[in-house]
Amino acid sequence: MSEHAELSKIRNIGITAHIDAGKTTTTERILYYTGMSHRIGEVHEGNTTTDYMAQERERGITITSAAVTCEWEGNRINIIDTPGHIDFNIEVNRSLRVLDGAIFVIEGVAGVQPQSETNWRLADRYNVPRIIFINKLDRTGADFWHAFGTLKEKLDIVALPLQLPIGAEENFIGVVDLIEMRAIVWEGGELGAKFHYEDIPDDLKEKAAEARQELLDTALAVDEAAMEEYFEKGDVSKETLKRCIKKGTISGEFRPVLCGTAFKNKGVQPLLDAVIDYLPAPDEVEGIRIAPPEDEEVDESFLPIVPVDPEGKFAGLAFKIISDKYGTLTFVRVYRGQLSTGDTVLNTTKGIKERVGRMFQMHADKRQEVKTVYAGDIAAFVGLKDTGTGDTLADPSDPVVLERMQFPVPVIDISVEPKTKEAVEKMTLALQKLTAEDPSLQLRTDQETGQTILSGMGELHLDIIVDRLRREYGVEANIGAPQVAYRETITKPHIETYTHKKQSGGSGQFAEVKIKFEPSEKKDEIIFENSVVGGAVPKEYIPAVEKGIRNQATTGVLAGFETVDFKFTLLDGKYHDVDSSALAFEIAAKACFREGMKQAGPVILEPIMDVEITTPNDHVGDVVGDLNRRRGIIQNQETAGSTVLIRAQVPLKEMFGYISHLRSATKGRASFTMQFHHYEPVPRNVAEEIMAERRA
């Protein structure tokens, strides 16, 4: 088999969805039917292949994205099973970045849920072709057409059914295949491995004919030759129709929809066929863009693209890092060329050389060694010392830098202190490893208290990290109560001049700076501009001014929180031939910040969360009243059967411990999901409370 032919038989796909929609269960079935596992693991029994961490098995959720490789009909499928919980959204983000296609699992009762929407937008950002699998059609209350309706309503897409369900809830037995116009019916007992074809049931014939016509009208519109074939013959061949569906899937003109119930082993084999038929091989998508130069504003559409090319010089993107008992594993998606064990590559992001020790194809936490990897492959490298998530590895003779990843802002802090003095070094090392694995986790030292502060995406996220500290690294730690990650910013421009003079025998210190501080439109950025003319501040001291302000911005003037979203311009200054130095200008800049920011209308910002609550009808009043008390703003309410979906925006500060309150208020019948939406200024009375707490 030539390398190019091999490339056409590779599929790099992700399985993604809202929490509890059935991603891991679907992955387990795929592994069983492709012969990679000899039994089917179940989430509720804690013995699945991809949920291999102890915390995943205990909690029945996916935390880290696991990579598995399997074979289907002579094709190799690399699958990444991603988490559904918003606290682990980083895992979905980095997985979608390196995949060529995705299966979106949608729950058959609820339809599109909040995390499905978030993940869908991420897939839009990276332009990932996707197919949709409406799952759990055996559940009480499952309704294919309701779930299908939410695709258009919430994702605003052209959804195109390739199958219709036969039966519903406990009577769901199979699907109508609209490509072949026949029924696929699964037989019981054999774990769904056995099914047979039969004629479409009479009660579905009319609906199937309508759906088939819609399929033809939508799919053939992407291909002129197919349209001509249809007008000539009144129909098209199966091959032509599949070609059109693949073309529309890759371009995003429409999104194919399949259905089934993974838990009851129905619908998985046709889903695998659809992965091969409609999702692209690595060389059927455009590849990855080259990263823009650091700190430069460029139109991304003008950046060159690195296509997947087996013949080119090696280039790959490191998208995930795991530290385990064997050392550090760096997951790399290869875009160009090939690489063998023992080769040296250049980490072009950091400008350092790395030698590749060994390489593995991963099967969750098991591994198979490979000697060479090729364009299109996903593999785990051992022996890379300084490569982090999002770094590019490339042939030193063609040092390309591939498009970087964007990571979410942590919104919640805890303090971490080891219980014994001896464990300090051990804890520091463990936390460094954990933050290297997970870029949505941040580590810093509080300047005032000297405490180690860990910032993450939510209470569950930090809970898991603390649990891993104890189990994997043997560090018992005292944990401070979760704190909101507040920020500070300014609301009006102000110009401040500050002179730093120190004369105490010997050489003195002198520096004067005149700086304009103003709010910035750009979020999550601090912008510096140098407007000094005529050498009033020598060039060599300008970086010191910038460094001083950026360092001081980590401690705001109101309550000591990090200051964000502002611009500072160095307008003028003075220096002394003998007494001026970089240190003097840095000190002057810091003091100028402390004085100037007080006059620029400083405010405290708090994270506002998007909250979605599913509650029975009879508890809506209690839930809404409680949200209002928590400073929440109700966005909308939707009724689905006997349940109501309430969407609101609520400050994170008011949401700590919410789950236990919600359960007691609704007798355990309501559930909620929450994700970060934006930062906004806190009301004056809350700001005063926060400042009083910080002073205490």
pLDDT tens digits, one per residue of 582-613: 999 999 999 999 999 999 999 999 989 888 88
Burial class (CB in 10 A: 0-12, 13-18, 19+), 192: buried
Least confident of 187-196, 257-266, 443-452: 187-196
Report the pLDDT value the prediction gives residue 308, as an integer from 0 to 100. 85
419 labeled part of a ligand binding site: no
Q: Are residues 79 and 181 in the same domain?
A: yes
Q: Are residues 182 and 242 in the same domain?
A: yes
Residue 292 in domain? no
Tell me which range, 43-52, 186-195, 676-685, is most confidently predicted by mean pLDDT. 676-685
Residue 483 in domain? no
Q: Output the domain CATH number for residue 460.
A: 3.30.70.870
Q: Are residues 437 and 521 in the same domain?
A: no
Structure tokens at 83: 């988490």
Render 479-495 in DSSP notation, one character per residue: EPPPEE--EEEESS-EE
617 labeled part of a ligand binding site: no
Residue 491 has pLDDT above 50, yes or no: yes
Residue 510 has pLDDT above 80, yes or no: yes
Tell me which range, 122-126, 380-384, 414-418, 622-626, is most confidently predicted by mean pLDDT. 622-626
Residue 34's nearest CA partner among 261, 333, 366, 276 is 276
24 labeled part of a ligand binding site: yes
Last residue of a domain, one of 368, 394, 420: 394
Confidence of residue 494 (pLDDT cuts 50, 70, 90): very high
Contact 438, 66 (CB under 8 A): no
Residue 402 has pLDDT above 70, yes or no: yes
User: For residues 277 and 245, what is the distance between their CA atoms, to the nearest angstrom?
Assistant: 9
Residue 525 in domain? yes
Residue 39 has pLDDT above 60, yes or no: no
Residue 406 in domain? no
Structure tokens at 125: 């950002």
Q: Does the pTM exceed 0.85?
A: no
207 labeled part of a ligand binding site: no
Least confident of 104-108, 595-599, 605-609, 640-644: 640-644
Last residue of a domain, one of 547, 570, 600: 600
124 labeled part of a ligand binding site: no
215 labeled part of a ligand binding site: no
Classify strands 255-259 and 159-161 as parallel, antiparallel or unpaired.
parallel
Q: Are residues 526 and 418 in the same domain?
A: no
Helices 238-251, 202-220: inter-axial angle, 10-degree rounding: 60
Q: Are residues 29 and 154 in the same domain?
A: yes
Helices 202-220, 224-233: inter-axial angle, 10-degree rounding: 130
Q: Are residues 359 and 386 in the same domain?
A: yes
Q: Are residues 218 and 260 in the same domain?
A: yes
Please give the sequence-ordered ranges of beta strands (E in DSSP) within 553-625, or none if there are none.
566-574, 602-616
Confidence of residue 107 (pLDDT cuts 50, 70, 90): confident
Residue 233 in domain? yes
Residue 169 has pLDDT above 60, yes or no: yes
Q: Are residues 618 and 595 in the same domain?
A: no
For range 332-359, the mean pLDDT:
90
20 labeled part of a ligand binding site: yes
Q: Output the domain CATH number for residue 87.
A: 3.40.50.300
452 labeled part of a ligand binding site: no
Confidence of residue 180 (pLDDT cuts 50, 70, 90): very high
Q: Are residues 102 and 223 in the same domain?
A: yes
Secondary structure of residue 671 in the 3-state scheme: strand
Q: What is the overall mean pLDDT for the chain?
A: 82
Structure tokens at 316: 């790959």
For range 135-149, the mean pLDDT:
88
Residue 372 in domain? yes
436 labeled part of a ligand binding site: no
For range 141-151, the mean pLDDT:
90
Please give the sequence-ordered ranges of beta strands (E in DSSP) within 29-100, or none if there are none.
66-72, 75-81
Report the pLDDT value the prediction gives residue 24, as an integer from 0 to 100. 65
User: What percentage of residues in the chain have a pLDDT greater than 70?
Assistant: 85
User: For residues 278 and 266, what is the distance between their CA atoms, to the nearest angstrom?
Assistant: 20
Least confident of 220-229, 356-365, 649-658: 356-365
Residue 292's nearest CA partner among 304, 278, 275, 281 is 304
616 DSSP β-pair partners? 643
User: For residues 221 and 674, what is the distance between their CA atoms, to the nearest angstrom?
Assistant: 40
480 labeled part of a ligand binding site: no
Report the pLDDT value the prediction gives residue 300, as an integer from 0 to 100. 60
DSSP structural state of residue 403: P
Contact 503, 536 (CB under 8 A): no
For range 119-134, the mean pLDDT:
85
Q: Output the domain CATH number for residue 345.
A: 2.40.30.10
446 labeled part of a ligand binding site: no
337 labeled part of a ligand binding site: no
137 labeled part of a ligand binding site: yes
Residue 385 has pLDDT above 90, yes or no: no
User: Domain limits at 131?
Assistant: 3-284
Residue 402 in domain? no
pLDDT tens digits, one per residue of 408-438: 667 777 888 888 877 888 888 888 877 777 7
Q: Which residue has the higher pLDDT, 72 or 183?
A: 183
Report the pLDDT value the prediction gives residue 22, as an integer from 0 to 100. 65
For range 553-581, the mean pLDDT:
91
Residue 578 has pLDDT above 90, yes or no: no
- Taking the CA atoms of 576, 581, 585 and 591 in sequence, report the sign of the dihedral they define: negative
Residue 311 has pLDDT above 90, yes or no: no
135 labeled part of a ligand binding site: yes
Report the pLDDT value the prediction gives residue 87, as an integer from 0 to 100. 43
Residue 42 has pLDDT above 50, yes or no: no
Burial class (CB in 10 A: 0-12, 13-18, 19+), 195: buried
Residue 362 has pLDDT above 80, yes or no: no
Q: Per the structure, how many domains does the chain have?
A: 5
Give the HSE-up count for residue 298: Cα atoms under 13 Å, Cβ half-sphere: 14
Q: Are residues 256 and 350 in the same domain?
A: no
Q: Output the domain CATH number for residue 545.
A: 3.30.230.10
34 labeled part of a ligand binding site: no
Report the pLDDT value the prediction gives residue 6, as an integer from 0 to 100. 78
103 DSSP β-pair partners? 15, 131
Q: Output the domain CATH number for residue 688.
A: 3.30.70.240
Q: Which residue has the higher pLDDT, 629 or 459?
A: 629
Last residue of a domain, one of 569, 600, 631: 600
418 DSSP β-pair partners? 477
Q: Are residues 685 and 541 in the same domain?
A: no
Q: Are residues 203 and 247 in the same domain?
A: yes
Confidence of residue 53 (pLDDT cuts 50, 70, 90): very low
CA 84 to chain centre: 10
Residue 319 in domain? yes
